[in-house]
Structure 1
Amino acid sequence: MDILTFLLIMISFTVGDLSTIICPLNETEWNVRSKTKVCQGKDDYHCLVMEDGKTREEKCIERTLIMNGNCPIFTNDYYLHWRTCNKTGCPSIPYRSDEVYNFPVCFEIESEENNLHWSQQSRSKDDAFALKIGLPLGLIPAVLVISIVVILIIKKRRQTLKCLSGFRRNDDDDDDANDVPELRKLVKKPEYISIAVDHLKTKKIIYVIGQLGNSVSTSGKKITKIYAKRHQMSDHYYNYLDISQKFSEHCPEKVFKRKTVNFIDGWGGLWNENPCERKRTLDILVQVAEQSKSLDNTKFVFGLRTEIHERLKDELLKQEIRISEYERVLLDNSSIYKRKKVVEEINLLQNSCSDGGCGCKSLTFERVSEIDQVPIGTFLVVKLMSLDHKMIPDFLRRNIGPLKAVQNLFEGLMEDQTWPWLPYFVCLGYHDNKEFKQEIASEFDISEDMLSEPEKVAKYTKMLDKDKLAPMWSERFDLEKPKKDETREVRVFWHNFLYICAFHACYKKYPKQMIQFCNLDAILQLVRPMSHPDPLAIIACEKDIDLFCEERLKNLADDSVFKEHPLVLDWRKRKE
């Protein structure tokens, strides 16, 4: 490591805001740094440039496949995205986002445009030789510069600590004074995150409530991680299905450990609510809420979809569980922070488009906020628009909206053979290139060789370790339980709303095959009879409902967990 690298690292560590983060430039350094971050669950260590191109950040986030010619970045809301690379040294092959250290050009920020790869070049033998020659000549001015920097560091550190002391609201946060860079990052967090962290000190549970795509999981994990760090506790992330069986078999003390902050989401369903899960969801919510009172030094953060919370809140009240304003974070509410993030995403969308007549040029926060045909977050709406700018006029039409617009996009991808195997992908919920299910593929006239061009669909998908796939409710019946013990990666949609839109597209073209062969959870969550409309679900005809209940469920239609599903209710009513 040369003097320049050492000085920049020390300045960054000591002051925090005088220099940006320096990302690891090889596998060894990357692995060492990742161990200090202790990422959990599905998340892996990443060091990436922010979308403004001015700073770098380190975060724990799910890795994904990045196609050649692109560099991974963090969006302003800390989603993993990518942008085209047009410089020397750009990636020439597909790679995982946590292997970006192989392409130092992807770490370049605006302030380093004139000395790209300085940190990589500093490791070369030529630089080492140049340093031996230049060091004596530059020693005197270097000493003067270092002296000035030290003075500035001391002065700046005092100012930083003074400002940060005003940020703390309680004396028990003083332990954070030794972690200035981390606190500097926390100050940047939206106000609702800071408020929720404060309220968690006196509350056992904080409920993070929001629409699909309104950062429920992201916000819940931030609250969990920040609180755990401040109070020297461990943080853990769960899907409610992961703990459902354990909670049934054990007392809560054996499920949740002491000195932990536990974030639990996935309540009710992965893509939409599964009515079959409603009772179990309520039971687990009530049990954890009630029994958490006796769990010493254990905190909880629940991530709930808005519509699921609305359907359960009356039942929770009957159980005398009242969620006060101090125990909830409502992500659907308008705020300055939310407006700022959406406006930034709109600007990014517009700046990346060279077509002066494109519909993106007329987008404003107000116009995007009026899109309400389906219950999804405004930020997600703008991200979806970036997939294909030709969809934007349809997004804005009252009779179409986001779901129909993206559905039309997927229908086109099937029609022009860009993605002919989309129905196969949707039926399974993922694609494993080491596993080919002939019995499903043959129903859609799909051959194995059609699945060999993933780069065409990379913008809609990401790579995920198979053992990190979200659990399925139907696994309890051992109907279609995927093998999740393998460590290899599989392809999934990068957002659940994309799966919903793709399901609609495939169901429209192949209703009978989808009813018979699509994963059971998708049918239960995304198909309804005419008598039970749902903004995210398809309305099935009576013939398809009969096929599902009589052939797919067979004897299970009489099972107590299925009998209250709208599809079964409709079928039974017509058969009586």
Structure 2
Amino acid sequence: MPMCTCKPEGKVNACPETKEAWEARAEAKRAGCHYEEVYHCLSDKDGNKWEKCLQKTLILQGNCPIITSDGYLDWRACDSSDSSCPNHSYVSDEVYKFSLCFGHNFHANQTSGSIRDSAVEDSSPGVIIGVVFTNLLIIGAAILAFLIIRRRLRKKRFVYHKNEKTAQEGLLSDVKVVGVARKKTVSKGVHLLLKENVHSICIIGQYGNSVFSTSSFILKKFANWKNWKAQQFLFTDVPDCVEEKTVMKVYGWFGTWNDDLCSLDTVKMVCQKLENVLDDVSDVKLVIEMSSDKYHKYRMELEPFRKLFMNEISLDGCYADEENLQHFKKIQRSCKHKKCPCKRLTFDMLHHGNDRYVGMPLKINIIAKHHDRTLIRNYIENQDILRVMTEHFTALETKENMKEVYEWISYICLKGQFSTSEALDQDLMATWDFGIQKDDFVKNDNLKDFFQLKPSNMETGDLSVYAFWHPFIYICAFHSLFQKDEIRVVESCNIDAIVELVRPEGSNKSYIEVSANAECANRFSERLRRLNLVDKYNAHPLFQCNHIS
């Protein structure tokens, strides 16, 4: 039986280099393209050619579109001294005008066989022997390298199992937990901003759906492309003056962790400020990041500022399920414990659990970063990531050698963050009987599982503030503390967290909010009076529900 060599789907020998040939292939492939996608034929980084259905993208002068290993459209610079390098901007499905972008483009009448035959004819026996000998050396070296690597890996696995300690330690030694930025959305966002008539884009998505990382990638990639200045601001910190050639990301709308219910006037004021910046300063672009629940809740109130929100990009929906699935499988493969309950955890459990408020990328990253057997077993049983992480934090207080970690979790939850330049709050430590020290972060590696250093100033980028690695992890810590002692929480926790996460008993509350009884609401109202914050928060239901005169 003759051997059949099958090409990967979409791989071709050559791309069409004329308008007529391109349109003929596009017509033949049109049935396989959906929505805004059109036929493309592009090279990858190795020079292979691929036919794919992709959204049209603006490619700037001096660049060629390429296809990534994940099947997305990207671009790279070409040699501007070459006359075939694009000398003006163009749409990605017009790349046929620039043959340089295809590299070596082998057409049907110039098969690999004919090229090989020609090369053999022109080669002397000595050259052929030299080529064969060189190839044998390369093959031998590759085999030797493979054997060495395999031996090292086996040794590494043996040492790992020999030194295996607890179920919590070392489960994910080779997985780096990062934000799952949506590559396709990043490309779409960048190319929207590149349009002259687009001055602002709005990235929305559910909690934990890679909204922050996706918007950050858009900001950085656009800034690098245009050689502009990139800035990031909490919405309450937006400056009055912005320099030309600046792309600015604004985040944290309506609250850091949740809706504080008293920020709408501030939001409107900031929106007006941003519109003024766009009107008064040329060459300024905005990337607005907002959770989809807040965006839809306040859509009518934001309507007067439509200029800021008209170019909406949503991360919600099922189109990224495959990307999330592959990320989840990577987590499972990386766990070396054959009896770890993560082997019984399924993607469907994560996808259809009782925690649909939380995006899949975040749930997967939590399972990776806090890969504890008890935690995973609890998730399989309850399928509620908030409940499971809350119980996980609560259990740390009595767990051997973890009391210091628990106290730091509690301290940073109460303060909101911890600046390395500030002294510890001695009053707070006395109230909660904490025994922590500032140098614990140097001595205790377990703290790195829960916190990360963040810039105190986005302008300078100086890493000097410890905060939870994700706002949702903060929320879980808050739930744990609130269950332990809600009175002490409302009397000593930072005000922002209370107004964003606490609602009066009997009122509607969301998945991440907690309910406070009448005594709790009373204590909070008294605290607002002491701090002269009644005018700011007198419309908050937690203040309005009590009857203290």
Distance 1:167 1:549 in 2: 54
Determine helix, strand or coil for the equivalent of 1:257.
Answer: coil
How big is the shift at 1:505? 0.7
How big is the shift at 1:468? 5.5
> Would the alpha carbon gap of residues 563 and 184 (structure 1) be closer, same or farther in structure 2, given more than 3 Å must change?
same
Q: Does 1:385 align with 2:396?
A: no
Distance 1:331 1:157 in 2: 28
One-letter amino acid matched to 1:361: K
Determine helix, strand or coil for the equivalent of 1:564.
Answer: coil
| Residue 528 (structure 1) aligned to one of 496, 503, 513 | 503
How big is the shift at 1:440? 0.6
> Would the alpha carbon gap of residues 199 and 487 (structure 1) be closer, same or farther in structure 2, given more than 3 Å must change?
closer
Distance 1:217 1:403 in 2: 20
Q: Does 1:263 align with 2:263?
A: no
In the alignment, which residue of structure 2 is the partner of 1:192?
Answer: 185
State how many pairs are aligned.
Answer: 387
> Would the alpha carbon gap of residues 442 and 197 (structure 1) be closer, same or farther in structure 2, given more than 3 Å must change?
same
Determine helix, strand or coil for the equivalent of 2:282.
Answer: coil
Determine helix, strand or coil for the equivalent of 2:221.
Answer: helix
> Would the alpha carbon gap of residues 516 and 468 (structure 1) be closer, same or farther in structure 2, given more than 3 Å must change?
farther
> Would the alpha carbon gap of residues 369 and 262 (structure 1) be closer, same or farther in structure 2, given more than 3 Å must change?
same
Determine helix, strand or coil for the equivalent of 2:63.
Answer: helix
Determine helix, strand or coil for the equivalent of 2:543.
Answer: helix
Distance 2:378 2:46 in 1: 54
In the alignment, which residue of structure 2 is the partner of 1:366?
Answer: 348
| 1:444-469 CA distance string (max 9 Å, x none) | 11124597353222211122354569
In the alignment, which residue of structure 1 is the partner of 2:10?
Answer: none
How big is the shift at 1:307? 1.5
Distance 1:489 1:412 in 2: 29
Q: Summarize the alignment of residues 316-465 of structure 1 with structure 2, pairs less than 5 Å apart.
A: 316-317=302-303, 323-324=309-310, 327-335=311-319, 338-373=320-355, 375-386=357-368, 387=370, 388-397=372-381, 401-416=384-399, 418=402, 419-421=405-407, 422-432=409-419, 435-448=423-436, 452=440, 453-465=443-455
One-letter amino acid matched to 1:381: K
Distance 2:305 2:494 in 1: 34
Mind listing any 5+ residue stretches in structure 2 that lack a counterpart?
Answer: 1-42, 69-73, 78-91, 93-180
Question: Could you say what the CA RMSD is over the residues aligned between the two structures, in angstroms?
Answer: 3.6
Cα pair 1:342 1:378 within 8 Å, conserved: yes
Distance 1:204 1:488 in 2: 31
How big is the shift at 1:340? 3.1
How big is the shift at 1:411? 0.2
What is the percentage of aligned positions where both structures have the same residue? 21
In the alignment, which residue of structure 2 is the partner of 1:183?
Answer: 75
Distance 1:262 1:555 in 2: 34
How big is the shift at 1:427? 1.3
One-letter amino acid matched to 1:533: K
| Residue 228 (structure 1) aligned to one of 223, 226, 233 | 223
How big is the shift at 1:302? 0.3
Q: Does 1:550 align with 2:526?
A: yes
| Residue 295 (structure 2) aligned to one of 309, 317, 326 | 309
One-letter amino acid matched to 2:425: K
> Would the alpha carbon gap of residues 411 and 551 (structure 1) be closer, same or farther in structure 2, given more than 3 Å must change?
same
How big is the shift at 1:179? 12
Between Structure 1 and Structure 2, the one with more helix by share is: 1
> Would the alpha carbon gap of residues 392 and 298 (structure 1) be closer, same or farther in structure 2, given more than 3 Å must change?
same
Determine helix, strand or coil for the equivalent of 2:467.
Answer: strand
| 1:343-368 CA distance string (max 9 Å, x none) | 22212221233444433223343332
| 1:355-410 CA distance string (max 9 Å, x none) | 44433223343332113535221011011122024223433556x61111100000
How big is the shift at 1:213? 1.8
Cα pair 1:374 1:535 within 8 Å, conserved: no
Determine helix, strand or coil for the equivalent of 1:333.
Answer: coil
Cα pair 2:260 2:496 within 8 Å, conserved: yes
How big is the shift at 1:546? 0.3
